[in-house]
Chain A
Amino acid sequence: MRSETEGYVRKTLIPPAPPPRRLGGPLAWMRTNLFATWTDGLVTVLILAALAWLVPLALRFLVLDAVWTGTSGEACRPEVAGRPVGACWAFIGGKINYLAYGSYPAAERWRPNLFFALLAFGAAWMLWLGAPKRAWGAAYLFGVFPLLAYALLAGMPSVGLASVATGLWGGLLVTVVVSMVGIVASLPLGILLALGRRSDWPVVRYACIGFIEFWRGVPLITVLFMANVMLPLFLPGDVTVDRLVRPLVGIALFAAAYMAEVVRGGLQAIPAGQMQAALALGLTRTQALRAVVLPQALKIVVPGIVNTLIGLFKDTTLVSIVGIADFIRVLEAARADPRWSAPAVPATAYAFAALFYFAICFSMARYAGFIERRLAAGEAR
């Protein structure tokens, strides 16, 4: 035994170390946290140098040198402004309606606004854990809201809402619609697929495995291309599919496969005894699933579901590649407007998009972390 560890064992005593010089105070804190060793000190200095270069640069670009008002790209040209020019926020201000609604008719913009409000209401109902009647919230978000949203956005001449072609939708509106369809379709479909993957019936099981693994194995962009060229091929006769609906179908199926794997993780974490106990109480398998197993499984996978939704939200940007006017594509179009041509405009556009996506994704990630900690605290009791 001794010979096995000999290589690491000291043969002589270490000389006694001097007593520690300082244990408290800012200097001691800096020694332990910033300059513990030579390499640590080097890393600290390097990072401080990088910060000293980056922070003023970002601050100057985003705030100090930024142009806040103006009606065209002229205002953001250094030779016109007579000073170094940072971000051209006037460009965002001038294009904000286009970025939010695309080419949606100006007189009808109250409809997307109402749609956003209805969505925010439903989302708050679901996300606030202490909200009353959350089951009704789910029914609203997954049943009533999609129908309402469709009637509102696409129009319903019978009740006096003029129809608006999907080709006119754009910007934030399309990004939110694509994400919403992905979420609303993928959750129920994903749960069904996850249950099917654990089914006793081989045909159902293998059909679900094949479906899930197929969509998880291919990149989303190929799915979108496929939806674009193959969907019209597969449908009978002269049935045409709306250009916006094609990528929606692709995204919904793609997201469902990922959602199924998250839900399966939750189902696997529920002990078999729960199902057996429910069956022993005389519940049928369906009742047991609905009343005992699924509620527990879904509760523990909420962080996973939110993380999948973050991925889905980021992935919606890919629809811009197949010609859908989502936020990114509208931003690119706005950037190319000759009236707003100025050297700082592209960087401004990307900075704005980055802030927009970061704000949403980061807060969703924070929410997932909050739920995770709550669940962990519940487990610890």
Chain B
Amino acid sequence: MRNPRIAPSWRALAVQTLLVLALATLAYLAAANAAQKLARQGIVAGFGFLERAAGFDIGQSLIPYAAATATYLDAFCVGLLNTLLVSGLAIVLSTVLGFALGIARRSGNLLARSFAAAYVEGFRNLPLLLQLLVWYVAVRVALPSSGDPAAWGGAYLSQRGLFLPRPDFFGLAALVPVAFAAGLFAMGLLIRASHRAVALGKKPVPVLWPGALLVLGPPALAWAGLALAGHPVPVAWPARGPYDVEGGLPVRPEFAALLIGLSTYSAAFIAELVRSGLDSVGRGQREAAAALSLSRGQALRLVVLPQAMRVIVPPLTSQYLNTTKNSSLAVLIGYPDLVHVFMGTVLNQTNQAVEVVALTMCVYLSLSLATALVMNRYNARAAGTRR
């Protein structure tokens, strides 16, 4: 519709000038009103409050945080890290579950198809908030009470959460994660070698079993070796205290409910994206793969999915962004994410509404912006290789 040959007319100029003036006036009036009201409440504008002592405790923190010494800035960082933690894990889980369900919707098995369809319709058509309430309230009451937790091999489960043994990888024990990282790297090399072999027209190098061995073998060897050498990896075991299970690695019910709720909800949407991606690949591709005597699984993995990914990836990233934004529902069940800690507790304590709201929104906006930039680059690349 845009036509560059039409010269800017006086009307265009007038309307746009008026619009700028109107927006500026509105902004000025809002700012003036806010400044006046804030001054009346005795609130000093600016981000100086971030340096002040917070004085409240946070239930779960990835970084050292003590109510006595922490500042509001520390609280902000704790909330941000908690948001990133739960959304990152939810993205991984929902991707695995979503791809499985999406592929199941186009499988030859009638029951798998119907089951996946029922899952998608059920989870997509219920509000996430209701699902979180179900996980946090209804499912939790079905768990054993905190006085009488269920125990399996050193782990405990009760209404107060899941308590896992926690290996501490410090000192010599750091060899285990290093071995794991080396195994991952080796698997990456193996995958590349396999791709190169295919590109050169040779038989692909087997990846799955050797890869699993490469990733899991070295850390297991390191663990066993350290134990034999007399420096076993120290493990903090949870133990029954007087009131509750203590120690180990606690998985709080708020975190677990949010993670499960977010993952299962997003998986339904990802399944739909995967399904439409699979549908976008022509029938002929499957038939040609079958004619080359590839099995259904091979055809899916080597022929259909790689082509479907071009359709799946762009909406998938915006779904990931949605998952991150949806994690702000944490405030409902009390998981200390960014919104709960910062827009809830900090805002209530300091009354620095403008700064707190601006800072929180900036975090989410920059995440969106970063995703959009990455997406644009991917789209440009994908458009270049499209056949």
Known: A234-B33, A350-B138. A201 touches B16 (CB 8 A): yes
B211 to chain A, nearest CB (A): 19
Q: Are B198 and A7 in contact (CB under 8 A)?
A: yes
Q: Which of B6, B23, B332 has the most CB of A within 10 A?
A: B332
Q: Nearest A residue to B17 by beta-carbon distance?
A: A203
Is chain A's interface secondary structure helix, strand, loop, or mixed overall? helix
Asked if A233 CB lies within 8 Å of chain B CBs, one says yes
Q: Are A218 and B1 in contact (CB under 8 A)?
A: no
CA A101 – CA B197 in complex, angstroms?
Answer: 68
Would you give the 0/1 interface string for A318-342, flagging 1 where the beta carbon is closer than 8 Å to chain B?
1011000000100010000000000
B328 to chain A, nearest CB (A): 4
- Among A4, A32, A217, the residue within 8 A (CB) of B108 is A32
Q: Are A272 and B129 in contact (CB under 8 A)?
A: no
Known: A207-B19, A229-B357, A233-B33. A350 touches B38 (CB 8 A): no
Known: A7-B198, A221-B331. A33 touches B353 (CB 8 A): no
Asked if A128 CB lies within 8 Å of chain B CBs, one says no
Q: Are A48 and B111 in contact (CB under 8 A)?
A: yes
A214 to chain B, nearest CB (A): 7
Q: Which of A293-324 contact B (CB under 8 A)?
A: 310, 314-315, 317-318, 320-321
B113 to chain A, nearest CB (A): 9
Known: A33-B109, A226-B357. A7 touches B1 (CB 8 A): no
Asked if B62 CB lies within 8 Å of chain A CBs, one says no
Known: A214-B365, A218-B365. A320 touches B129 (CB 8 A): yes
Q: Nearest A residue to B16 by beta-carbon distance?
A: A203
A257 to chain B, nearest CB (A): 12
B296 to chain A, nearest CB (A): 8
Would you give the 0/1 interface string for A344-381, flagging 1 where the beta carbon is closer than 8 Å to chain B?
00110010011001100110010000000000000000
- Among B3, B107, B110, B365, the residue within 8 A (CB) of A217 is B365
Known: A7-B201, A217-B369, A233-B354. A222 touches B361 (CB 8 A): yes
Q: Are A353 and B111 in contact (CB under 8 A)?
A: no
Q: Are B357 and A310 in contact (CB under 8 A)?
A: no
Q: Which of B21-41 contact A (CB under 8 A)?
A: 23, 29-30, 33-34, 37-38
Chain A hits for B365, CB < 8 A: 214, 217-218
Known: A36-B109, A214-B365. A222 touches B126 (CB 8 A): no
CA A44 – CA B353 in complex, angstroms?
Answer: 55
Known: A204-B16, A346-B138. A236 touches B29 (CB 8 A): yes
Q: Are A236 and B343 in contact (CB under 8 A)?
A: no
Asked if B168 CB lies within 8 Å of chain A CBs, one says no
Q: Are B364 and A218 in contact (CB under 8 A)?
A: yes
- Among A4, A47, A202, A354, the residue within 8 A (CB) of B201 is A4
CA A10 – CA B128 in complex, angstroms?
Answer: 51
Q: Which of B202-252 contact A (CB under 8 A)?
A: 202-204
Q: Which of B187-202 contact A (CB under 8 A)?
A: 197-198, 201-202
Q: Which of B3, B126, B202, B368 has the most CB of A within 10 A?
A: B126
Asked if B256 CB lies within 8 Å of chain A CBs, one says no
Interface residues contributed by chain A, number (CB under 8 Å): 67
CA A343 – CA B141 in complex, angstroms?
Answer: 9
Q: Are A218 and B33 in contact (CB under 8 A)?
A: no
Asked if A291 CB lies within 8 Å of chain B CBs, one says no
Q: Which of A32-64 contact B (CB under 8 A)?
A: 32-34, 36-37, 40, 43-44, 47-48
Asked if B133 CB lies within 8 Å of chain A CBs, one says yes
Known: A8-B292, A318-B129, A350-B134. A217 touches B368 (CB 8 A): yes
Q: Are B121 and A43 in contact (CB under 8 A)?
A: no
CA A235 – CA B133 in complex, angstroms?
Answer: 35
Asked if B169 CB lies within 8 Å of chain A CBs, one says no
Q: Are A7 and B368 in contact (CB under 8 A)?
A: no
Q: Are A40 and B109 in contact (CB under 8 A)?
A: yes
Q: Are A43 and B138 in contact (CB under 8 A)?
A: no
Asked if B380 CB lies within 8 Å of chain A CBs, one says no
Known: A219-B328, A233-B33. A47 touches B115 (CB 8 A): yes
Chain B hits for A354, CB < 8 A: 126, 130, 134
Q: Which of A194-231 contact B (CB under 8 A)?
A: 198, 200-204, 207, 213-214, 216-222, 225-226, 229-230
B371 to chain A, nearest CB (A): 9
Chain B hits for A357, CB < 8 A: 125-127, 130
Q: Nearest A residue to B338 by beta-carbon distance?
A: A222
CA A200 – CA B6 in complex, angstroms?
Answer: 10
CA A364 – CA B17 in complex, angstroms?
Answer: 43
Chain A hits for B110, CB < 8 A: 33-34
Known: A7-B198, A200-B2, A275-B1. A222 touches B30 (CB 8 A): no
B79 to chain A, nearest CB (A): 12
Chain A hits for B174, CB < 8 A: none
Q: Are A321 and B332 in contact (CB under 8 A)?
A: yes
Asked if B382 CB lies within 8 Å of chain A CBs, one says no
Asked if B293 CB lies within 8 Å of chain A CBs, one says yes
A70 to chain B, nearest CB (A): 21
Asked if A5 CB lies within 8 Å of chain B CBs, one says yes
Known: A7-B201, A33-B108, A201-B15. A361 touches B125 (CB 8 A): yes
Q: Which of B311-337 contact A (CB under 8 A)?
A: 325-326, 328-329, 331-332
- Among B109, B198, B331, B354, the residue within 8 A (CB) of A230 is B354
Q: Are A314 and B127 in contact (CB under 8 A)?
A: yes
CA A229 – CA B358 in complex, angstroms?
Answer: 12
Q: Are B331 and A328 in contact (CB under 8 A)?
A: no
Asked if B347 CB lies within 8 Å of chain A CBs, one says yes
CA A204 – CA B203 in complex, angstroms?
Answer: 58
Q: Are A221 and B1 in contact (CB under 8 A)?
A: no
CA A230 – CA B31 in complex, angstroms?
Answer: 11
Chain B hits for A237, CB < 8 A: 33
Q: Are B23 and A230 in contact (CB under 8 A)?
A: no
A-B contact pairs, 20 of them (CB 8 A): A7-B204, A33-B108, A34-B109, A34-B111, A43-B109, A200-B1, A217-B365, A217-B367, A219-B364, A222-B357, A222-B360, A229-B347, A233-B38, A233-B353, A235-B33, A318-B329, A321-B331, A346-B137, A346-B138, A350-B134
A residues within 8 Å of B by Cβ?
A: 3-10, 14, 32-34, 36-37, 40, 43-44, 47-48, 198, 200-204, 207, 213-214, 216-222, 225-226, 229-230, 232-237, 272, 275, 310, 314-315, 317-318, 320-321, 328, 332, 343, 346-347, 350, 353-354, 357-358, 361-362, 365
Q: Which 4 A-B pairs rank lowest in CB-CB distance, beginning with the nearest?
A: A217-B368, A361-B125, A203-B16, A219-B325
